[in-house]
Chains A and B, each alone.
Chain A
Amino acid sequence: MISELKEDILKLLNDISSGISNSKTTSELENIRINSLGKKGSITLYLKNIKDFDIETKKEIGAYLNDIKNKINKLIQDKKNFFNKEHLKQKLKSEKIDVSLTPYEAEMGTLHPLSRTIEELCAIFADMGFSIVDGPDIESDYYNFTALNIPEEHPARQEHDTFYLQPDINGQRKVLRTHTSPVQIRTMEKIDLKNFDEIRYIIPGRTYRSDHDATHSPMFHQCEGLVLGKNMNMGHLKGCLIEFCRTYFNQDNLPVRFRPSYFPFTEPSAEVDIGCTKENDGSLVIGKGEEWLEILGSGMVHPRVLQGVGIDPRKYQGFAFGMGLERLTMLKYGIPDLRPFYDSDLRWLKHYGFIPVDNPSLHFGLNGVFS
């Protein structure tokens, strides 16, 4: 009797499981579940009927039916999972898009190569303890010349091609600063000698000379440097500027030459040359070769300049230097021509400019690798 019953149930199970495996939709599957395990389902009916059997049979068939019920549940669940996966597959397939398309978005802008150079200079000199100061573009004759030991009749004045503004009611005419050096005077005037130990400044900025041709622009940029202390000597000047040149041009062994020169506001004075080679096409390769290229002027601050701002040259001494930023930029980044610096040609700006996320610093590097 039990075995007959089991046989019937097993047959039923086989029918149900082949129904499950043949089912094509979730609703079909749901029908099978209702027909087998639902309130009036075939398996449920067997479960209801076993109450008429003796206790032994009831026990055995009951357990057997429960087992069967679990099996069916599992088969249905597996099939459901299968349907879900299939469904998702279909859905994803239908959601396919054309990845070859790219929507339009305005490009990121660029920073001007001159700003870049100024920031590189700041990074290099900051490491040597310098800070940045500014001064006005419109200067009095006094700051631009006289205080720098360039009196009116001085031959050096003729080399400056100065722009003059209209004279005021007293006949005084201001000038557009011809160099960043007047800021030396302005910063030294502010020194409180009672609490003075040392200053180290760099002064990048706009400068002006009335000259306009392929290699001169009426407006250009310089960076001035000023170090003043008790024991700052020409050896420090040399160390500071060699470190600058080598760091800026990223060459450990860049040849740097100091050559006697003359500036009215420094004594002794030195021009600084770096080693380079001139290629046949006229371009310059920095760092090796026979030729020397002048890149900056420097010297020990002239005692008369110090006296002029009330500093005793026997107690304090220091050095100053100045360099043309366009030239430095052109040399480092291979920019052949000066004039486009101020021409705002978008093609030039994008080609020679720098991306804004590339902050020049000693630890990121100073060479604009991703730009």
Chain B
Amino acid sequence: MKFTWKWLLDHLETDKDLSEILETLPKLGLEVASIVNLAEDLKSFISVEIVDVKRHPNADKLNVCKVFDGKNTFSVVCGAPNVKLGMKSVFANIGTFIPGLKLKLKKGKIRGEESFGMLCSEKELTLSEKHDGIIELDSSSVLGLSVTDIMHLNDPIIEIEITPNRGDCLGVRGIARDLAAAGMGNLKDLEFEVNNGEFDSIINWHVDLDEDQKYLCPKIFGRSFTNIKNVESPLWLKNRLIAVDQRPISSLVDITNYIMIDIGRPLHAYDIDKIKGKTLRITKSKKDDKFFALNGNTYELDENMLVISDEQGVDDLAGIMGGERTGVTKDTTRMFLEAAIFDPVSIANTGRKLNLNSDARYRFERGLDYNSPEIAMHYAAEMVNKICGGKFSKIVNYKLEPKNKIINFEPNIIYQLTGVKIENKLSKSILEKLGFKIVSEDNIWEIVPPTWRPDIDGVADIVEEIVRINGYEKIPSIKLSRSNYIAKPAMSTKHRQAFFASRILASRGYNEVITFSFLNKIMAKQFNGGGLALNLVNPISSELTDMRPSIIPNLLLAVQKNVNIGIQDLSFFEAGPIFKGDSPEEQIITITGIRYGYKTKKDWQKEAAQFDFYDIKLDVIKALNVIGIPKNSLKIFQDAPNYFHPGRSAVFKIGQNVIANFGEIHPEIVNNFGLNKSAIGFEIFYENIPMPKRNKISRPMLKISNLQPVTREFAFLLDEEIDSERVCQVVKSIYKDLITDVTILDIYKGEKIPKDMKSIAIKVTIQPVQETLTDTVLEEISTNLINAIVSKLSGSLREI
């Protein structure tokens, strides 16, 4: 919402200056977005008379002019077609900054002729887009004055953000009212003469709505104007409209726009001579109704849109936009003016369906002053009469009796809700200044909000009005102390798991990234997503159409981006959501990581080595260890999803629950990302981890033995298909108490042993618990251990 300082002063009588007003506006909830003072930019542009015009010797379209500012004469080269002897125009001297061109004027030669300045168009002064000639000032203009004075530009433009509840502040008067309530002056009376008109209106209303639909148009007013001249608007009116970004068109249109900005009341002007018949019908559109709007577009209407029709058909989309067919033009001599109240919900729905925005819709949607149609009829009549002459008719109207809204209000609620104590007298005075009526004044106040505040519908709204005008700075600041005696952890176990795992991964070299939750359809499908339920109707690009089924593609993209800028060795992880469906349970939080490239570089100490499956396996185990999973409780399977390398991937499960997928990403996929090394990744589904059972803070007693552990080494021959880890498991299982560790020392396949077999060398650590183990006992353990491998894994002891 834009307005000018002088415009505000039309409604506000005040001794405050602009800066005080600007400071107050945000305190009222009217945030100042910008303040522009054209006068600052344009003060050095002056009025001159053109005292000589000669054709440029070297250019057909240029003239060399002499201009006189009352004291001095300057020679100027000018290309404007409208330049003529004796004309008064706007001149910029050397050194002036031209805002429309964004440059500082320098002395220069144009095709050999010296030019000491510039004659300017409206565009060069940023007054409008007009650039077909230089500005022509009134012939009575005094020479040598700043154009800001001559053209009445000395008026700062203020732009404020209006929140959706404050439709009343979409007019300058509403802003003045708020300022007055806040002690920034007094609201002036709206000056207009009530004139009931001389003749009956040529056009009449017919509300053609079912009884239960009448709420869609509770009020509509109109009156006819005759013998008018739709001339160009006076300068003051044009200047005001230009200042607030409304393009001056013709006085009738300009007046309706002016009143819309001035008191927030949209109006619509019909050319009576273009209306078919004598009646305008307020009704609902039928399917396939077509509407040719003032903006030059044709709209195909739906059923049930509120429209205004004449005998020929729809030519006004109520509260949104008028029709081209019946609109006023420069030739209009008879006008019918409409001011109505329409149901905001209906307007919003229609506007949204047709994707049609307008200043009128903006205001109707936010709710208008129920009393504004009457006021507007008189206010506009006076203005039209002054500018366009002619006569106006009596008012024709239709209205429903408004339901009086009464809010019962206990003043104590102000303190209860906001903690600020305000005297009842002050509260009442604030409300009254804002136009509220307080009907009864016992402990419960019966409050009637003003007609221009349809947003007020409850006690909390009234509290806000009082506290807002009183000043939010008067609300006390109360320390919010913990309500519990002891501090409780803010994080749930799940949050802590993500927090700890992230830290372990980062300390192991992973960099955390945050990537978009959506990706393109091809990737979504490649990772077993891409279903309809997770497809966006209105994506911002074809690369971001589907909710991601996995974070791995996002991380591959991250790798790709970095490889493309020359960074080759990368480890990334992200803790974030993936989507299996659109219900809350189908959103899964995972921690997903990728490693790519070399883990060690070749240097004086070691050889270069790329990341492989086992690096990732360790990462996963370490991350799982810190979030409460002991190494032994994980079972490994080989059924990772199809986006992994089938032979180089695995799954950790607890029971049926997948805790992590990990391994090489399928080479085909990696290749699709233009990556030529293998990428190794994991996905940890930590939400699947059963909650730790331990609920005691104290730990079980530590049992340690002072006896020396004994180690024994063995080598077995086994079928090469047997998982090596099985050997350790079998060995451990036979003496759970005594055997504390089994390490694989070596795995050998080759000439020295039969084909399809492998040799596994292990070191077994035996920890005596109660007494030192005798040779006999150790011998017995060894024998049982060998027998177990023979019987359970069909292996044999290999003689070394």
Contacts and interface: CB of A to CB of B under 8 A. Distances in A.
Are A and B genuine complex partners? yes
A349 B511 contact: yes
Interface residues of B, number: 107
Contact of A115 (B29, B166, B502, B509): B502
B575 to A, nearest CB: 8
Contacts of A292: 26
Contacts of B484: 129
A122 interface: yes
Nearest to B28: A260
Given A344-B558, A356-B507, A235 B537 contact: no
Contacts of B571: 106, 109
Interface in A347-364: 347, 349-350, 353, 355-357, 359
A30 interface: no
A234 B418 contact: yes
Contacts of A128: 480-482
Contacts of A155: 164, 348, 362, 365-366
B502 A111 contact: yes
B472 A258 contact: yes
B769 to A, nearest CB: 38
Contact of A112 (B464, B512, B570, B601): B512
Interface in A264-281: 264, 267-271
Contacts of A270: 472
Contacts of B579: 137-138
Contacts of A248: none
B107 to A, nearest CB: 30
Interface stretch (B54-62, B143-151, B559-567, B717-725): B559-567
B590 interface: no
B458 A303 contact: yes
A12 to B, nearest CB: 53
Contact of A345 (B480, B561, B606): B561
Given A206-B576, A345-B565, A238 B475 contact: yes
Contacts of A135: 584
Contacts of B480: 128-129, 227, 236, 239-240, 243
Interface string B465-485: 001100011011111111110
B16 interface: no
Given A132-B492, A163-B538, A261-B29, A268 B463 contact: yes
B554 to A, nearest CB: 8
B419 A235 contact: yes
A174 B582 contact: yes
Interface stretch (A67-75, A80-88, A165-173): A165-173
Contact of B460 (A154, A202, A268, A344): A268
A315 B533 CA distance: 41
B510 interface: yes
A110 interface: yes
Interface in B343-393: 344-345, 348-349, 352, 362, 365-366
A355 B417 CA distance: 44
Given A129-B488, A260-B464, A109 B587 contact: no
Interface stretch (B253-261, B422-430, B513-521): B513-521
Interface stretch (B98-106, B317-325, B539-547, B662-670): B539-547
A153 B606 contact: no
A113 to B, nearest CB: 9
Contacts of A136: 583-584, 587
Q: Is the interface of A mostly helix, strand, loop or mixed?
A: mixed
Given A268-B463, A346-B567, A233 B483 contact: no
Contacts of A353: 511-512
Q: Among the interface residues A133, A158, A227, which one has the most CB atoms of the partner chain B within 10 A? A: A158
A300 interface: yes
A369 interface: no
14 contacts: A112-B514, A115-B514, A126-B489, A126-B491, A129-B480, A138-B582, A151-B345, A163-B538, A239-B479, A258-B473, A259-B29, A260-B28, A260-B468, A268-B418
Interface of B: 26-29, 31, 163-166, 344-345, 348-349, 352, 362, 365-366, 415-420, 458-461, 463-464, 467-468, 472-473, 475-484, 487-492, 495, 499, 502-518, 532-541, 544, 547, 555, 557-558, 561-562, 565, 567, 569-573, 575-577, 579, 582-584, 587, 599-601, 603-606
Query: Nearest 3 pairs between A and B by C-beta?
Result: A235-B419, A260-B29, A262-B163
Interface of A: 101, 103-112, 114-115, 119, 122-123, 125-133, 135-138, 151-156, 158-159, 163-168, 173-174, 176, 197-198, 200, 202, 206, 208, 210-212, 218-219, 227, 229, 231, 233-236, 238-240, 242-243, 257-262, 264, 267-271, 292, 300, 302-304, 317, 341-347, 349-350, 353, 355-357, 359
Given A136-B587, A268-B460, A271-B31, 18 more contacts: A109-B512, A111-B503, A112-B513, A125-B490, A127-B482, A165-B536, A208-B517, A218-B544, A233-B418, A233-B419, A234-B417, A235-B477, A267-B464, A268-B463, A292-B26, A341-B514, A344-B562, A356-B506
